[in-house]
Amino acid sequence: MSDQRDGSQGQLFSDAAVGAPQYDEVDTDLVGYRGPTACAAAGITYRQLDYWARTGLVAPSVRSATGSGTQRLYSFRDILVLKVVKRLLDTGVSLQNIRKAVDHLRTRGIKDLANITLFSDGATVYECTSAEEVVDLLAGGQGVFGIAVSGALRELSGELAELPAERLDGGPVHTADDELSLRRRRRAM
């Protein structure tokens, strides 16, 4: 909790307290998710995924398709960007403006992305990383909507925990073994 005497808002729970992932564990170039899994987690169709990969909007960073029968593998960060793109499209932002935003997001790591809130007025996408930037953006009186990337990140980490992943080196994929996942695994055996 922060000191409330200075007028700032306190934080009730740290990310670790609300079940946020260890970002270094989920953001690795060795673990990837196949197209259908990426679609399910991001809430998009396979046709959208394929188009965005072919046009370079969100290309798979773990493994790209090299011919007939090969599977693309998307990283956690790729799927997070897919989820953000979907939300921006749903609110009416043009694909051209989304491309600019995605180019900017690609340069960021997962920890950086978790601290970003994207705002859009329907035409332009703005990145805000502090309360002051949000206030400055809203001071113009323009109506905007926001996407808290940290919320999408937590949501995605929960969804992907239940979906199949692959390692490039063929090794086992390590998942967090909480009591519920251990029970589910025992029941499935």
- The whole-model pTM stands at 0.70
> Into how many domains does the chain fold?
1
118: in domain: yes
186: in domain: no
Q: What is the pLDDT of residues 149-173, one digit of tens each?
A: 878 888 888 888 777 788 776 665 6
8: in domain: no
5: in domain: no
Domain that holds residue 88: 25-165
53: in domain: yes
CATH number of the domain encompassing residue 78: 1.10.1660.10
182: in domain: no
Q: What is the pLDDT of residues 64-108, one digit of tens each?
A: 877 776 788 998 889 999 998 998 888 888 888 888 888 877 777
Q: What is the pLDDT of residues 13-59, one digit of tens each?
A: 334 333 434 444 444 567 889 999 999 999 999 999 999 999 999 98
Instruction: Give 15-21 contacts, CB < 8 A, sequence gap 24+.
Output: 15/114, 15/150, 15/154, 18/154, 19/154, 19/158, 20/114, 20/150, 20/153, 20/154, 20/157, 21/153, 21/154, 21/157, 21/176
Q: Measuring CA to CA, which residue among 25, 58, 23 is closest to residue 42?
A: 58
178: in domain: no
77: in domain: yes
